[in-house]
């Protein structure tokens, strides 16, 4: 009788042992993706991969000369939407343009965290404020919103979509603005390529730079 109990207990113990541990697969942290098929999203890596090879060439190629653009726009920045602009929602929403130009730096504002350089464009005397963002805070997602090869539908949700823009702006800060040393640019002649988003009710042109060079 005792033996029987022991055997039974042993069998039970084995059953439970096999149930509890036998079929559990231990997966290392960070390797879940291999099993669920879901790759952990990393906006920084994603953006680093596209910046040099795809983003910069497209921005350089599609940039419209800002002096000509503003002259043609004649005060209404939405006029040339069909020719050069890109709307965030196909034919509505936020309107962004890729622009390039040369000019003189009239003011370097670092008082605001959202710092900027005020630029007097070569050959243009209009009233629009042309400003190039120099951070450390960058407003809007102008560069992301002008690129043709990335779209919201490719990302899981709004958070990831926003992270893409944040990563682009980080690259801008590190690879574009920092090497140009904005604080030394007062009064200098510069050339730039960048993107800006039209803000409702204002004619300000706030450019996120992708290329920034002293002439």
Pick 17 or 214: Cβ nearer other proteins: 17
Q: Which of 54, 166, 191, 203 binds other proteins (CB under 8 A)?
A: 166
Does residue 64 touch other proteins according to CB under 8 A? no
Which string of DSSP letters, residue by residue, matches 23-83?
A: TPPP--TT-HHHHHSPPPP-HHHHHHHHIIIIIHHHHHHHPEEHHHHHHHHTT-TTTTHHH
Q: Which of 54, 88, 102, 203 binds other proteins (CB under 8 A)?
A: 88
Secondary element (H or E) of residue 136: strand 130-136
Q: What CA–CA distances, in Å, run from 24 to 12, 91, 152?
A: 18, 52, 37
Which string of DSSP letters, residue by residue, matches 173-192?
A: IIIIIHHH-GGG-TT-EEEE
Q: Which of 89, 91, 148, 179 binds other proteins (CB under 8 A)?
A: 89
Q: Which of 125, 127, 148, 158 binds other proteins (CB under 8 A)?
A: 158
Q: Which of 82, 112, 148, 149 binds other proteins (CB under 8 A)?
A: 112
DSSP-derived 3-state class of residue 168: helix
DSSP-derived 3-state class of residue 161: helix
Q: Which of 44, 75, 136, 187 binds other proteins (CB under 8 A)?
A: 136
Minimum CB distance to other proteins, residue 115 (Å): 11
Residues between 185 and 204 with contacts to other proteins, criterion CB under 8 A: 200-201
Minimum CB distance to other proteins, residue 61 (Å): 25
Residues between 13 and 52 with contacts to other proteins, criterion CB under 8 A: 14-15, 17-18, 22-23, 25, 37
Does residue 214 touch other proteins according to CB under 8 A? no
**How far apart, in whole angstroms, are the C-alpha atoms of residue 204 and residue 95?**
13
Count of residues near other proteins by CB under 8 A? 37
CA 64 to chain centre: 20
Length of the chain: 215
The answer to whether 99 touches 81, Cβ cutoff 8 Å, is no
| Footprint on this chain of other proteins (rule: CB under 8 A) | 3-4, 7-8, 10-11, 14-15, 17-18, 22-23, 25, 37, 88-89, 93-94, 112-114, 136-137, 139, 141, 151-153, 156-159, 161-162, 166, 200-201
């Amino acid at each position: 009788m005792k033996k029987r109990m022991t055997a039974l207990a042993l069998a039970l113990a084995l059953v439970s042992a096999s149930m509890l541990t036998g079929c559990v697969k231990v997966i290392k942290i960070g390797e879940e993706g291999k099993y669920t098929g879901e790759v952990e999203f990393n906006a920084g890596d994603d953006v680093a991969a596209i910046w040099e090879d795809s983003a910069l060439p497209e921005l350089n190629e599609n940039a419209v000369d800002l002096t000509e653009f503003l002259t043609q726009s004649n005060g209404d920045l939405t006029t040339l939407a069909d020719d050069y602009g890109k709307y965030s929602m196909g034919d509505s929403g936020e309107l962004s343009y890729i622009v390039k130009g040369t000019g003189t730096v009239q003011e370097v504002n670092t008082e605001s965290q959202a710092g900027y350089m005020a630029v007097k464009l070569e050959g243009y005397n209009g009233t629009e404020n042309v400003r190039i963002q120099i951070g450390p805070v960058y407003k809007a997602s102008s560069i992301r919103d002008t690129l043709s090869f990335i779209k919201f539908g490719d990302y899981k949700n709004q958070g990831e979509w926003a992270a893409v823009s944040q990563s682009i702006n980080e690259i801008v800060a590190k690879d574009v603005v920092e090497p140009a040393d904005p604080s030394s640019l007062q009064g200098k002649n510069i050339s730039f390529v960048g993107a800006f988003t039209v803000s409702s009710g204002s004619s300000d042109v706030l450019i996120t730079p992708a290329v920034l060079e002293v002439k």
